[in-house]
Amino acid sequence: MKVSTHALTAHLAALAQAWDDTIVDQPGMLLQLIGDLAAVQRRIDALRVAVAGELADLSAAHRGGEAMARRAGHARPGSYLAELWQISVAEATRLCEVGLATRQRTALDGALLPARYPAVGEAIAAGSVGVEAAVVIVRELDLAAPFCSTEARAAGERLLVEHAPGSTSS
């Protein structure tokens, strides 16, 4: 997913101006602004998950001294991300976990492997599932994985994504 930060900044400025222009007596405009803000937040959340997954991958233990978080003096990518974004370590760790679970992986021979949970990744990118729901889905699928087949896990993933709290899909 390619997102221009300049475009996001411009959209945020336009939304801020819309807020400044909104009069309390115009509930339709307020509701439109609320919906627009939610859409922008979902896009930002999708980008945050993707960036966190990239940071977590570049900070993986197999990279040793070249691991990005380690080079910055952090044992784990979640603590590094928490420092960079000024969020809690718990929130940053959740973003890293979902990011890793929803991104393509690289095999030892360099071949690209599919994401562990591609349906979750697609739903986050589309804005149809929020980060909080994705965290729960990934956690529960990881817990179930040792006890079910790959096909059953994929079916469960699709079902959980479809029925996720706050899902905008039907």
> What pLDDT does residue 170 have?
43
> What pLDDT does residue 139 have?
97
Give the pTM: 0.84
> What pLDDT does residue 40 have?
87
For tokens 């149809």, name the residue. Answer: 128
> What pLDDT does residue 21 have?
74
Contact status, residue 94 vs residue 135, Cβ threshold 8 Å? yes
How many angstroms separate the CA atoms of 103 and 170, rounded?
24
How many angstroms separate the CA atoms of 170 and 167, rounded?
8
> What pLDDT does residue 9 have?
82
- In tens digits, the chain (170 residues) has pLDDT values of 455 678 778 878 887 887 777 665 677 778 888 888 888 899 899 999 999 999 999 999 888 888 999 999 999 999 999 999 999 999 999 999 999 999 999 888 989 999 999 999 999 999 999 999 999 999 999 999 999 999 999 999 999 999 997 655 54
Residue spans of the domains in the chain: they are: 26-162
Helix, strand, or coil (residue 2):
coil
